[in-house]
Chains A and B, each alone.
Chain A
Amino acid sequence: ETGVTQSPTHLIKTRGQQVTLRCSSQSGHNTVSWYQQALGQGPQFIFQYYREEENGRGNFPPRFSGLQFPNYSSELNVNALELDDSALYLCASSLPPQGTQYFGPGTRLTVL
């Protein structure tokens, strides 16, 4: 196991709602990256957090936002959920930001 944990495991929401997903990084890792994986696709980079600041962002709208806390854990927030947001959300921790990334088990989000 990588030591990266995510919660919750599964989540069902309706269109327009907001959701918060959580990630605890592997011990000693100071960087968390978030990815969205739609069915049948590879993971797509959402953003990365390093030392509590956003350290880069992929092609996702502003309704996807995040936080990193002093203990390096992180949250991903998605506002105004759309049906296409249904996916597996993965976080990965690394040390340093350019280091090898180790993934958590993911949160499966279903938007109805």
Chain B
Amino acid sequence: RKEVEQDPGPFNVPEGATVAFNCTYSNSASQSFFWYRQDCRKEPKLLMSVYSSGNEDGRFTAQLNRASQYISLLIRDSKLSDSATYLCVVKSSGTYKYIFGTGTRLKVLA
């Protein structure tokens, strides 16, 4: 079983739609969680960290469920510019290694 699992998609949604991605992780000692965005053939860019109480940044909301070992990303009012691959990242406490999922592809259609 992979340490971090994501549905690869693609998720094709119309502009203005709300879309949600989930990511599951296997190591219960994981302490830090992030969502990175990666455009085609570019580097990953930090979208947001995920906090235990959940957090929001504009149209983006991230949630953490430790009991079920998953994190989620909700995008409201999707824009064409949101089309990208969204990478779930997990890190255990005191370590330096980021463990990435394979990413979920999102295509927002006009």
Contacts and interface: CB of A to CB of B under 8 A. Distances in A.
Interface of A is mostly: strand
Interface string A33-74: 101000011111100101000011010000000000000000
B87 interface: yes
Contacts of A102: 46
Nearest to A105: B43
A101 B102 CA distance: 18
Contact of B96 (A55, A88, A108): A55
A105 B34 CA distance: 19
Interface in A3-52: 31, 33, 35, 40-45, 48, 50
Contacts of A97: 96
B83 to A, nearest CB: 17
A103 B34 CA distance: 14
B104 to A, nearest CB: 10
Contact of A103 (B45, B97, B101, B102): B45
B99 interface: yes
A91 B97 CA distance: 12
B102 A41 contact: yes
Nearest to A103: B43
B55 interface: no
Interface string B31-74: 00010000001111110010000000000000000000000000
B96 A33 contact: yes
B101 A42 contact: yes
Contact of A43 (B94, B96, B98): B98
Interface of B: 4, 8, 34, 41-46, 49, 87, 91, 94-103
Nearest 5 interchain pairs by C-beta: A42-B100, A103-B43, A97-B96, A45-B97, A42-B102
Given A43-B100, A45-B98, A45-B99, 19 more contacts: A33-B96, A33-B98, A35-B98, A42-B101, A42-B102, A43-B44, A43-B87, A43-B98, A48-B96, A50-B96, A55-B96, A58-B97, A90-B44, A100-B34, A100-B46, A101-B98, A103-B45, A106-B42, A108-B41
